[in-house]
Structures are given as C-alpha cells and as structure tokens.
Amino acid sequence: MDKLKDHMLLGVFIGALVPVSAYFILVAILGLVSEDSPLRDSTMQVIALFINFPLFRTFLTKYKKDRLGRGMLLSTFLFAIWYIVSHEMLVF
C-alpha cells in the first residue's frame, strides 16, 4: 500500500468503486441465498456506503495518505447526498 500514490482523484475513484462493487456483491449473494431479499434496497445501499469507512480510516492512520482519504471522503459525501435526495429524506 505504500506504493499507492497520495492523490485526491485516486481517492475519489476508490471511494466510488468500493461501495458500488460492495452493493452489487451484496445483491448477488442475497440473490443466491434466497429469492426474496431479506433486506430492502435502501438498507443494502447504506451498508455498501458504510463499507468505505474502515478503508478510509486505514488510509488516513496507517498509511498517512491524507489526499487519498479526502477523495474517498468526498465521494462518500456525494453518495450520501445522492441517497438522501433519491429517497426523498430532505423535505423543505
């Protein structure tokens, strides 16, 4: 991991790739286990979003990749805003 560049754009890419792939893996595993998914789609999206945080913490504390962590945080915030808007949780 030390050879991984400390670049914000790379962090945005990793921060977007991890939750999306985690969501599709979760959907595939739950599809294999049962026909009816025991979890709602919104619950699986939140689980996929929270998978970013241990990886984010590792990059910041263990590897001292601050810019990469900022990029991951940016993409996580963008996903969270998308989640709130798409599920109509923000009412004015």
pLDDT digits (tens, 9 = 90+) for 3-59: 889 999 999 999 999 999 999 999 999 999 988 888 899 999 999 999 999 999 999
Question: Can you give the pLDDT at residue 90?
Answer: 80
Helix axes 8-33, 41-50, angle to 10 degrees: 140
Which residues neighbour 17 within 8 Å (Cβ) at sequence distance 6 or greater? none
Residue 92 reports pLDDT greater than 70:
no
Residue 83 reports pLDDT greater than 70:
yes
| Assigned token pair, 65 | 């990749």
Residue ranges of the alpha helices (H) in 4-90? 8-33, 41-50, 52-61, 66-86
pLDDT mean over 57-67:
95
